[in-house]
Amino acid sequence: MIIVSGCLLGIPCKYDGGTNLSKDVKEYLTDKSYAMVCPETMGGLSAPRPPAEIVGDRVINNQNEDVTEAFRLGAEKAWRLACERAEEKGEDITLAILKARSPSCGSGRIYDGTFAGVVTDGDGIFAALLKEKGIKVITEDELEAYIEEETSND
Ligand code: SF4
C-alpha cells in the first residue's frame, strides 16, 4: 500500500483551498492500492487556512500563530489511518508519495520559515514521522526517477 498526499490527487485541502493535482501521481496509482491522507486537515485545520512554515521545532502560520500541535496530531492521525487501511487489506506500507516542500508533507526540502518562498533542507512533520517509522518517502518531483529505478530493477 502507498500513502499519498490528498492534494496530489485533486482533493481541495491545500492551504489556499485549492489542490496540487498531479496527473503523474494519479496515473501511477491507477492500478495500485493506496491510502490518501491530508495531515493538516486531519489535525483540525480548515481549508483554506493561513499558510504555515517550520521555524525551528515549531510550526508557525503567517498570522504568527503556533499550529505545531495541530500538525503533530494530524500526522499521527494520518499514520494511524494508513496503518488501519493497510491492515484491512493485509498489506504492508511500501511507499509514501507526498507533496514537495510542504511543512507537513515535504521530504528533504521544505520552506525555510521566512514566508519568502525560500527552501532549505528538512522534512515536514508528517514526512519525518513516516521516515521514523521506516517508510520510504518520495515527493511528486521524484516520482519519475522512482519509476525508472523500479523498472530497471524488474
Ligand atoms: S498537508 Fe499534505 S496533503 Fe494536506 S494539503 Fe498540505 S501537502 Fe497536501
C-alpha cell at 95: 511507499
CA of 140 to the centre of ligand 1 (A): 12
Contacts of 136 (CB under 8 A, 6+ apart): 94, 95, 96
- Domain range summary for the chain, segments of one domain joined by +: 2-148
Which residue, 107, 89, 94, is CA-closest to 39? Answer: 107
The answer, yes or no, to whether the previous bond of 48 is cis (omega within 30 of 0) is yes
- Amino acid at the residue 147: I
Q: Is 101 in the pocket of ligand 1 (CB under 6 A)?
A: no
* Interval between CA 152 and ligand 1 midpoint (Å): 30
Instruction: Of 36, 5, 7, give the one whose Cα is nearest residue 21.
Output: 7
Tens-of-pLDDT digits for all 154 residues of the chain?
Answer: 999 999 999 999 999 999 999 999 999 999 999 999 999 999 999 999 999 999 999 999 999 999 999 999 999 999 999 999 999 999 999 999 999 999 999 999 999 999 999 999 999 999 999 999 999 999 999 999 999 998 888 7
Ligand 1 touching residue 99 (CB < 6 A): yes
Q: What is the DSSP string of 25-80?
A: HHHHHTTS-EEEE-HHHHTT--SS---EEEETTEEEETTS-B-HHHHHHHHHHHHH
Atom 8 of ligand 1, residue of closest alpha carbon: 7
